[in-house]
Structure 1
Amino acid sequence: MIRVTISMLIMLVLFLGGVLFGITQANQGMVETRGYEKADAEDVVNSSVEENGAYQIEVMGQDFEQLNLEKKQETYETVQTGHLTQKVAGGLETGVKWFYNGVIEGAYQFVQAFF
């Protein structure tokens, strides 16, 4: 019984040592990530407010700018109106749905005729 307990404790120590080693390796991987040279975990995300009210956000060394809603809406509308492929796919979807529903309804009517 003592032998089993000792072997279980040894396995537990090895397991926890492996977990700690893995956490250390993951932390070093975060430090070596592109654009991030600081070892402090608090400096991964930095944010500040500029004079004009816009937020300046830096995540792991990469800057992100705040765009206003009108500019995003305009970009979205130009992307949506310019895709012929999406319009063709939408028409094809409607046709396939109509055909599939017709086949299913026909099969249902056929089965209902016999029962």
Structure 2
Amino acid sequence: MMKCFLISTVLLLGVLIGMQQANEGMKRMRGYDDPSLQGAFHISDNQNGEVEASVLGRKVTSHDIEQKHQQLEEVETFNFVSSIGKKLGDGISSLFEKVMTAIGNGIENLLNLFG
């Protein structure tokens, strides 16, 4: 799951960087700065000295991030589907272990019988 998250993050950053590069290319191709062409992300300082960021035209603030973090903490961690999947995986692992033990014992008995 961690690998999937890291790969998704890298790919998302690659898409954002690609969109920013395409925007810069459009500006160079036109030869002038068109305010209707917005970049994929933009970081600037406001009058209060705070840093403002916008991604795909939406402003992102630390307050938004903190609010989403609180929402994630409030969500109940129990997930019915994941618990069923865990039980199913444990059952299959146990069944496979028993089958492999039986096959191993059978081969051992055959070797002892002929050996």
Q: Give the TM-score taking structure 1 as reference length.
A: 0.46
